[in-house]
C-alpha cells in the first residue's frame, strides 16, 4: 500500500523539533515514533494516531475519524483521521495528542 508522501513530509516538518523522533516504514505506510514508541503514522491518504484507550474512544466522536482496523481487528488505542480533514491546525492538534501519548510511555 502506498502512502501520502506529502502528508508524511508535513509530519516530518511538524515534528522536526521534537526530541527522540524517528520514522519507520510499517503497516504498508510510515509511522513516527518518539523514543521508540509509535505516536502517529500515515496509511494511504490518512493519518493514524495512537491515543490510548480512553482518548481513542473519545476521539471517535469527532468528524472524520474511525476505528483503526488494519488487521481486521479494531486496535483500541488508535484512530484513523481522514486525510482530507487535516488542515494545518487539525494536523498539529492530532500530532500533539499522539506525541503526548507516546511520551507518557517508557522509552524503548
User: Is the pTM higher than 0.85?
Assistant: yes
Structural domains in the chain, sorted by start: 5-102 (3.90.1150.30)
19-74 residue pLDDT tens: 999 999 997 899 999 999 999 999 999 999 999 888 998 999 999 999 998 778 88
Q: Is the distance from CB of 38 to CB of 50 less than 8 angstroms?
A: yes
The Cα 19–Cα 62 span in angstroms is 29
Q: Which pLDDT belongs to residue 1? A: 61
Nearest to 102 by CA among 34, 56, 42, 32: 34
Question: Any idea which residue has 526530541 for its cell?
Answer: 19
Amino acid at each position: 500500500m502506498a502512502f501520502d508522501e506529502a502528508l508524511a513530509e508535513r509530519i516530518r516538518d511538524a515534528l522536526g523539533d521534537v526530541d527522540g523522533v524517528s520514522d519507520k516504514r510499517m503497516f504498508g505506510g510510515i509511522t513516527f515514533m518518539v523514543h521508540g514508541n509509535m505516536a502517529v503514522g500515515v496509511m494511504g491518504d490518512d493519518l493514524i494516531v495512537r491515543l490510548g484507550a480512553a482518548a481513542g474512544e473519545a476521539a471517535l466522536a469527532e468528524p472524520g475519524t474511525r476505528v483503526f482496523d488494519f488487521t481486521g481487528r479494531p486496535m483500541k488505542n488508535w484512530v484513523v483521521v481522514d486525510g482530507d480533514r487535516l488542515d494545518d491546525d487539525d494536523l498539529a492538534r492530532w500530532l500533539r495528542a499522539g506525541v503526548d501519548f507516546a511520551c507518557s510511555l517508557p522509552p524503548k
